[in-house]
Structure 1
């Protein structure tokens, strides 16, 4: 059943100055959040479990319809979805979830479903690209020509913003599936069903649980698993800095939400990996580059609103 609805008080002051009405959907692998905003105010939000597509999209649509009756017709709808998704408008799979391992969701036409039901302009991208866009518009990446948002939770995903726009190409960035060098003696096979020991296979919530033998949230900060994970994440941070040259790398998601000590270890290991190659960027400077998102757990749902703004 859907979660409760109500004003999200933390949204005040985050959105634009105008008084336009927008709606958004952040569709995650385990939960979805819908919201409606007017100007600076989040009028209402609701949380839903991500079950099977027909049921999940149906209850989200019902809630949006109820809000439309109460508040008026939104100018646009933003959908920030787990992926992979089709983003090339010239292809038949645009607006669809594509090769996801989530049962039942492969080939789901998200944009088509909501366009048919509401007839609104729809902004569409990955959930992490949406979060990156929200941080660029309202959060810790404001003013950055290149910024990256990475979420570490059930999986690992990353969105890249270049000059205010999400980076697309053949597909969208899949930063969670980068391969990284392993620390000596680490023989953990990884949990990614596609690649085994890619970054997601080594450092996502399920990977941490499998490595430590306990739920990821229960792993203390001094557990030895964090040494390996910090080293693997640092490999990824260094590669991203050398390939994309970001001003910010924002690390969000449930795994790192309250792990500032571990994040400090990641920065220290990243400085070791760079080994002075990037002039003027050492461990102290990395504290202003590799950071938590300013919007916290609101980055995802506000990402859907940022996508709606872009489509209006």
Structure 2
């Protein structure tokens, strides 16, 4: 009998290549689904090592490369009839880690994935609400100041209206006496009377204007204090509203949930009569994803490595 060739048949080679590519695709998916959580978990220590490759990338590559190595070791031990328990334990740990990372991703999508958006929207609404209050307070403040200025101008006009006739009359009297020259002088008794009347009226006018100005300035000061107190009250109310908000308040709100997941849970609960919640569905989907991305490359890789090792043994034995 002639020796069997150590080459695989065309069909078998094609199948092995297909299985290998499928296993690599699933392995890449496993790598990617681990990399995302790693980057989030280790964001504080994740640094670029070389050429854009980060610590978390190396970590994900190491774990997934270990899966290939463990699968080869298990296949080798199986073919040679050796104890594979330690390698199986390591493989179980790696698969458990992948399940945990899948839970990390799926939980973020199934359990209130929109909670941050809902929370931020609430914060924006609070900001806008109190910004409107500040704007209204400022508009009201400016309106009050404008009214006060108008009232002050009217008061000034009334004061001048009250004293101006006497001033004009006294001034006219002084001018008349200036033209009334007696013995070479015009500063007689009548002139002095008009001058005293003018000075007295002018003092009354100035005093009234000064008092009006003082009242106006005091009113402005009081209004500014009221405005500042109003602004402080608005700021305090805003801070209290913000302090009462937390992202945890919206974890169970309808707006925070994934609408498709909510609809799916409703359908499952209606058909099965069970009470499936987001956490149950998260665990189920994460387990399915882990089963696909972990056991597919495991089974395919194990089959591929076993075939290669068996063929190698056959070639060595000459069978």
**Superposition TM-score tier, normalisation by shorter sequence:** under 0.3
TM-score by length of 2: 0.22
Bigger share in strand? 1
TM-score (norm 1): 0.23
